[in-house]
């Protein structure tokens, strides 16, 4: 199956100032979002932030309280009109796949192709089986398939009617951890080959960063930031985004024209996003990830702080260190030698990239 041609300049899905409340509960508030043709965008955020409600409004399972939703330049929901799910060309892959247990793989995939001639249906099913690499499983029953294979059948079934937009609700939550990582790569490959515009929902930051073209981080019913994975990870616009996308510590610093002065000493590093209050001694909180800081055991008199917690994560240890300045930071230490909570340590800023910062609260 050849990659379908997508036009990255064309907006396929548009949410314009969309809100949804359930009585006093505001689930989604003034949310605007554009998704381009063939793009895979992930809604990422903590439980209750409004991801599922957003997905359900796109599917037509919920009616927005306010705002407008368009698909392929047609308004499908606004103050005066509302298209039902079956009147929208939207496919959904549910968390539990929802395959029909009494139908074969081929029959499951053909299920939504009611308007097609029999011969065309058979051809389309074969094409999709090839797309998801299950051609030899045509006549199997869902119960004879592994979790990953069932997911590929669910994907094929929802792609069969050529939806304008495909929605994926926590697509990997039913898979064990190892298979999850494998299927991320597989699902992304299938979606890209199909050329479909897709929105996925997850609370797993690693999954969002690894499969998406763009990630929209949600908080409290709104989008906190949207951008490509590297952009949102390396340049988070808020502490919330920084902390949600991985282990984040904040180092208080005074900024002068050529250095930042911190509890660890003065460093010559660049800060992201232009000048900080004209560098006239402004106080900021600088974002540091564990690999930006290196901890080393030392004696009491040279220490920058002491270890409060040690976390083993396979390839390395991450130490939580309370600095004499009062900041609490997470640091790496890659060497074999380990040290214990309570032990004094020296901490070095070893970041070799521009650092994000936030005004001191
Ligand atoms: P999760 O990751 O836990 O699924 P989510 O980000 O998908 O969370 P939503 O399910 O969209 O969040 O819920 C957003 C908010 O709206 C929550 O506070 C939730 O309690 C509320 N909510 C969702 N559906 C309803 C409903 N049918 N009636 C009342 N409140 C609802």
Question: Does the structure show a pLDDT above 80 at 275?
Answer: no
Domain 11-89+163-243, CATH number (from 3.30.360.10, 3.40.50.10540, 3.40.50.2300, 3.40.50.300)? 3.40.50.300
Q: What is the CA radius of gyration of the chain?
A: 25
Can you read off the two tokens belonging to residue 182?
């494998």
State the pLDDT at residue 327: 93
Q: Around Cβ 197, how many Cβ atoms within 10 Å? A: 24
Q: How far apart are CA 278 and CA 276, in angstroms?
A: 5
C-alpha distance from residue 49 to each of 40, 223, 356 (Å):
20, 9, 24
The confidence band for 265, taking pLDDT boundaries of 50, 70 and 90, is confident
- What residue ranges of the chain are covered by domains with CATH 3.40.50.300? 11-89+163-243
Question: Does the structure show a pLDDT above 80 at 274?
Answer: no
Does 339 or 257 have the greater pLDDT score?
A: 339
- What residue ranges of the chain are covered by domains with CATH 2.40.50.140? 247-359
Region for 68 from its dihedrals, namely left if φ exceeds 0, alpha if ψ lies in -120 to 50, beta otherwise: beta
Question: Does the structure show a pLDDT above 60 at 7?
Answer: yes
The confidence band for 313, taking pLDDT boundaries of 50, 70 and 90, is confident
Ligand 1 centroid to residue 54 C-alpha, Å: 10
The confidence band for 209, taking pLDDT boundaries of 50, 70 and 90, is very high
Question: Does the structure show a pLDDT above 50 at 98?
Answer: yes
Question: Does the structure show a pLDDT above 50 at 82?
Answer: yes
Mean pLDDT for 192-198 is 94
**Is the CB of residue 157 below 6 angstroms from any atom belonging to ligand 1?**
no
State the pLDDT at residue 87: 93
Q: How far apart are CA 158 and CA 91, in angstroms?
A: 5
The confidence band for 281, taking pLDDT boundaries of 50, 70 and 90, is confident
Q: Ligand 1, residues 47, 50, 170: which to mutate, most atoms within 8 A of Cβ?
A: 50
The confidence band for 79, taking pLDDT boundaries of 50, 70 and 90, is confident
State the pLDDT at residue 278: 63
Q: Residue 334: phi, psi to the nearest 5?
A: -90, -5
Ligand 1 centroid to residue 46 C-alpha, Å: 11
Q: How far apart are CA 65 and CA 102, in angstroms?
A: 39
Q: What is the mean pLDDT of the chain?
A: 91
Residue identifier of the C-alpha nearest atom 28 of ligand 1: 22
Listed residue (164, 19, 27, 28) closest to 79, CA to CA: 19
State the pLDDT at residue 117: 87
Residue identifier of the C-alpha nearest atom 5 of ligand 1: 48
State the pLDDT at residue 1: 45
What digits encode the pLDDT tens for the residues 143-170? 999 988 999 999 999 999 999 999 999 9
Question: Does the structure show a pLDDT above 90 at 309?
Answer: yes
Give the CATH number of domain 247-359: 2.40.50.140
State the pLDDT at residue 334: 66
Q: Ligand 1, residues 52, 62, 244: which to mutate, most atoms within 8 A of Cβ?
A: 52
């Amino acid at each position: 199956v050849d990659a379908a041609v997508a036009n990255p300049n064309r907006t396929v899905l548009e949410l314009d100032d969309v809100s949804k409340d359930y009585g006093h509960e505001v689930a989604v508030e003034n949310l605007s979002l554009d998704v381009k043709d063939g793009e895979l965008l992930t809604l990422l955020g903590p439980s209750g932030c409004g991801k599922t409600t957003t997905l359900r409004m796109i599917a037509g399972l919920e009616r927005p309280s306010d705002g407008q939703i368009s698909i392929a330049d047609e308004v499908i929901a606004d103050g005066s009109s509302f298209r039902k799910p079956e009147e929208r060309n939207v496919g959904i892959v549910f968390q539990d796949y929802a395959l029909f247990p009494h139908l074969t793989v081929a029959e499951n995939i053909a299920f939504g192709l009611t308007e097609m001639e029999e011969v065309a249906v058979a051809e389309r099913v074969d094409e999709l089986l090839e797309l998801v690499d299950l051609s030899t499983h045509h006549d199997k029953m869902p119960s004879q398939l592994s979790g990953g294979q069932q997911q590929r059948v669910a994907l094929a079934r929802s792609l069969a009617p050529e939806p304008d937009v495909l929605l994926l609700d926590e697509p990997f939550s039913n898979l064990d951890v190892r298979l999850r990582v494998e299927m991320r790569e597989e699902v992304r490959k299938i979606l890209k080959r199909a050329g479909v515009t897709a929105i996925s929902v997850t609370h797993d930051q690693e999954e969002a960063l690894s499969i998406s073209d763009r990630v929209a981080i949600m908080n409290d019913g709104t989008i906190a930031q949207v951008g490509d994975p590297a952009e949102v990870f390396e340049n988070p616009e808020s502490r919330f985004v920084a902390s949600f996308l991985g282990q984040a510590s904040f180092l208080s610093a005074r900024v002068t024209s050529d250095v930042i002065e911190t509890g660890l000493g003065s460093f010559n590093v660049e800060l992201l996003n232009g000048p900080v209050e004209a560098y006239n001694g402004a106080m900021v909180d600088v974002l540091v990830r564990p690999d930006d800081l290196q901890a080393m055991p030392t004696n009491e008199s040279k220490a920058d702080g002491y270890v409060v917690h040690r976390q083993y994560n396979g390839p390395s240890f991450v130490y939580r260190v309370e600095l004499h300045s009062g900041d609490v930071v997470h640091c790496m230490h890659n060497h074999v030698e380990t040290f214990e909570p309570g032990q004094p340590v020296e901490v070095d800023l070893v970041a070799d990239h521009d650092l994000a910062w936030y005004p001191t609260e």
